[in-house]
Amino acid sequence: MTLISIICIAILVTTFIFGLIKNELMSPARLYIFVWTTAIGLADLKLSRLQNEWSNFGWIVLMVGVLPFLLGNFIVYVLNFDRGKKSITQIRNSILIEKINEKLLYNIILIMFCAYLASYFLEYLIEGYVPLFSPQPDLARRDFGVFGLHLIVNSVISIIFLSVEYIILVKQKFANKLVLSIISVLAFITFSFLLYRYIFMILILMIIPLVYFTKGIKPKFFLGIFVFIGLFVWGIKSIRVGQLAELYFFLAAKIKIPYKYAFLSEPYMYITMNLENFVANFEKTTFHTYGIFSADFFLALIGAKHWLMEYYNVAKFPHYIDGYNTFPYFWAYFYDFGFFGLAIIPFFIGIFASIIYNHIKMNPNLRNLIYYCALVSVILISYTSDPLTRLDIVSNYFIIITAQYFVIENNVLKK
């Protein structure tokens, strides 16, 4: 155990205890600290031979990316320190009494599910296969997808999230809830055949704050989520590479621990190699792309993404370590705008997240909660990617948030 790992554990435990005392475990700063103390603490253990010791400059640059989010949070916290804030019970009561157009929300989900099934079937007809049932699932899932149709298929996040929202907020209507439960299960199973685990990770991370701020979360819920994610990720990965997955990843990861702990190799590498990639490769960036990757989702939507990448001969991840091609959320901002983007964009994301959270605390309403659900998913996955630059995720954020403007009936915010 290294000194830095011990410090990270101490910070994590202290943050958790104070969060319990204040009943604010879901604040953006605490969630961010949970994620990054875990990632940095594990990375500093250097349990893989693919990892290297970081220079002082490497540590400084990493902190330039990590800390601005917390600074933005702190500024908003100070500005709102003496303003009246509601308890978690008052927040839940305020959100649960909001009136929504139940019929419209139900119909939106049904229409989206029909569009999902139609697009899924058309993709199957065009591609001629489903990745799970192909001879080489891992290769097949990378090539699978028809632009436009696949964007609709990826709306599985919106379908399941809105279904959960309906089930939580709507009283009675047991038949409708049963239908939506069946739809959610069917959507989950059919989308699982495509072997995309990232989509479901985002979905789960969005549902957690939705449940917390409406019904409350018991420890067994978190345990269930943790077990489910672990089994799901392991299952998808096993299908991708076959029955020798555990041995394969243990050897590929060059882990220094005994083989009897091989099952820990993939989660360890999944969490730590993002940071290793950033620290090892930021100095290799000899030019900047000025918005191509920060605006990835928009360029992908208008069909200009690949054209621009080919024209300027750039790749989103030009350098990475031995097949591990994931980076922290601030990589695109650094690649596009250098140290300015590395510091400023996370700073403003932190400000926005804290503003939305304070709105929930002072003037709780469903719309702000939905915004915050999206932000929580960004925070909790920030160690390995940036959903805000991905069209498949941003499109779901847009659908879910836009739906609230139609289904929430009491548009005048409660005082």
Clarify whether residues 95 and 197 are in a common domain.
Answer: yes
The total domain count for the chain is 2
Strand partners, 321: 324
Q: Are 165 and 206 in contact (CB under 8 A)?
A: no
String of b and e for 138-164 (b: at least 16 CB within 10 Å)? eebbeebbbeebbbbbbbbbbbbbbbb
The reported pTM is 0.91
Structure tokens at 158: 């919106």
- pLDDT tens track for 46-60: 999 999 999 999 999
Clarify whether residues 278 and 390 are in a common domain.
Answer: yes
Q: Is the pLDDT of residue 412 over 50?
A: no
Tell me which of 178, 213, 240 is where a domain ends: 240
Q: The tokens 């999230």 sit on which residue?
A: 161
Assess if residue 19 is contained within a domain.
yes
Clarify whether residues 391 and 336 are in a common domain.
Answer: yes
Assess if residue 300 is contained within a domain.
yes
Stated length of the chain:
415
Strand partners, 100: 408
* Res 229: pLDDT: 64
Assess if residue 145 is contained within a domain.
yes
* Res 319: pLDDT: 86
Structure tokens at 368: 């702000």
- Give the mean model confidence (pLDDT) for residues 181-198: 93
Helix (DSSP H) and strand (DSSP E) numbers for the chain: 18, 0
Clarify whether residues 286 and 393 are in a common domain.
Answer: yes
Tell me which of 240, 269, 302 is where a domain ends: 240
Clarify whether residues 98 and 140 are in a common domain.
Answer: yes
Clarify whether residues 45 and 104 are in a common domain.
Answer: no
**Cα(83)–Cα(77) distance, integer angstroms:** 10
Q: Are 204 and 229 in contact (CB under 8 A)?
A: yes
Mean pLDDT score across all residues of the chain = 90
Q: Is the pLDDT of residue 316 over 60?
A: yes
Clarify whether residues 283 and 376 are in a common domain.
Answer: yes
Task: Determine which helix (DSSP H) or strand (DSSP E) holds 343, and give its type and residue range.
Answer: helix 331-362
**Cα(376)–Cα(360) distance, integer angstroms:** 13
Range of the domain at 65: 3-83+243-407
Q: Is the pLDDT of residue 322 over 90?
A: no
* Res 181: pLDDT: 96
Assess if residue 413 is contained within a domain.
no
Clarify whether residues 403 and 276 are in a common domain.
Answer: yes
Assess if residue 414 is contained within a domain.
no
Assess if residue 412 is contained within a domain.
no
Clarify whether residues 20 and 62 are in a common domain.
Answer: yes
Residue 146, C-beta contacts closer than 8 angstroms, at least 6 positions apart: 122, 123, 126, 127
Clarify whether residues 299 and 359 are in a common domain.
Answer: yes
Number of neighbouring beta carbons within 10 Å of residue 297? 20
Assess if residue 176 is contained within a domain.
yes
Clarify whether residues 159 and 96 are in a common domain.
Answer: yes
Assess if residue 415 is contained within a domain.
no
Clarify whether residues 307 and 357 are in a common domain.
Answer: yes
**3-class secondary structure, 255:** strand
Q: Is the pLDDT of residue 296 over 90?
A: yes
Tell me which of 240, 265, 282 is where a domain ends: 240
Percent of the chain surpassing pLDDT 90: 70
